[in-house]
Amino acid sequence: MIEKYYPSKVWKYCPYCGAPKISWENGTHKMHCATCAKSFYINAASAVIALIRNDKGQFLFTRRKNEPAAGKLDFPGGFIDIGERAEDAVIREVKEELDLNLTGVKYYTSMPNRYLFGGIVYFTLDLVYLCKCGDLSGISANDDISDFVFVDVNDVKPEDLGLESVKIIVQNLKESSTNCNF
């Protein structure tokens, strides 16, 4: 039912001239205005996800404080700022959310996602990083997370997770956990 919040369902006026004569091509990808003849593209926003393991091999999960998916498990991470490198964003997000200093990041995979916020769906591309963190003793829940927990991915149930991309990442980790060593 998230489709009712797609930009093509929510946006009714041209962002350039304000005319109501807009049409959507390719489903949700491109809007065209019949009045000013301009086009507007819906592109994916970039986000990062940090995969951090403790010495027992458990993954660090956060609990989301806010919508979307408030109260559900997630991985540390967030949106990449304009002009920011993805590697710097994952380091920044982990520091903001958990007060941890990463000592290394290595690209793992990417995953498309849909992020419902403020009554509109944002399409994201989540860049997933394997992360090293020397000292986990100073960890604390900050920013937009309410809690954190280390869990064996095999003990995580899909209904405990809120975001589509995180569900797929967890499933992939369950199937190939030896491929995510750093």
Domain ranges for the chain, please list them.
Answer: 2-41, 45-177
CATH class of 45-177: alpha beta
Q: Distance between CA atoms of 146 and 70, rounded to whole angstroms? A: 9
Say what the pTM is.
0.91
With 80 as the cut, is the pLDDT of residue 145 above it?
A: yes
Amino acid at the residue 49 = I
Q: Are 160 and 63 in contact (CB under 8 A)?
A: no
Q: Distance between CA atoms of 2 and 103, rounded to whole angstroms? A: 38
Tell me the mean pLDDT in the region 78-96. 98
Strands in 26-91 per DSSP E: 30-33, 39-41, 45-52, 59-64, 73-74, 77-79
With 80 as the cut, is the pLDDT of residue 133 above it?
A: yes
Q: What share of the chain is helix, strand, coil (3-state, %, to 5)?
A: 25, 35, 40
Name the helix (H) or strand (E) containing 25: strand 22-25
pLDDT of residue 178: 56
Confidence of residue 177 (pLDDT cuts 50, 70, 90): low
Q: Are 16 and 39 in contact (CB under 8 A)?
A: no
